[in-house]
Amino acid sequence: MLEWSTAFPFIVISVIFLFSIGIYSLISSKKFLKMVFGIQFVLIASNLLLLSFGSTNNEKLFLSDSLAQTFSLFIIIIGLSFGIFGVAIDKRLRTTEGSTDVEFDFMFGSDLEDSDEQTSTSNEKSKDKENIG
């Protein structure tokens, strides 16, 4: 049987790989369902990392820490419910709006001031058109 001290670095590498896949799909995707699956990858990575830190070198028990197992089960239940609700929301978005594209409009600092100026000038133009017509 493979000793735990030799398997631990491979588990950490796989956790980093799964976590990076999840974060990449969250950042780069515009589809809602891909974002849900990205969060699922992050939850799987955290679950694997939690179980790997909860194990010991005891030959009889592979996973001996019951607290890590409890938290892992809790993460699995949360991930399952999140996946079910995510698919339901995706189906509802697809039927009502026809698309599940998610657009984030982050405005920071000067961008926010510029948009306020643009909205005030567009409001003034619409008022001028109402006064003329």
What pLDDT shows up at residue 120? 57
pTM of the full structure: 0.68
Q: Of the segments 2-6, 17-21, 29-33, 93-97, which one has the largest average pLDDT value?
A: 17-21
Crossing angle of helices 32-53 and 66-97, rounded to 10°: 180
Q: Are residues 67 and 120 in the same domain?
A: no
Q: Are residues 97 and 130 in the same domain?
A: no
Q: What is the CATH number of the domain that holds 70?
A: 1.10.287.3510
Q: Are residues 27 and 60 in the same domain?
A: yes
Q: Are residues 87 and 48 in the same domain?
A: yes
Residue with the larger pLDDT of the pair 97 and 61: 97
Q: Are residues 57 and 109 in the same domain?
A: no
What pLDDT shows up at residue 64? 64
Q: Are residues 15 and 69 in the same domain?
A: yes
Domain that holds residue 17: 4-102
Single out the residue of 49, 39, 44 nearest to residue 11, CA to CA: 49
| Number of domains the chain contains | 2
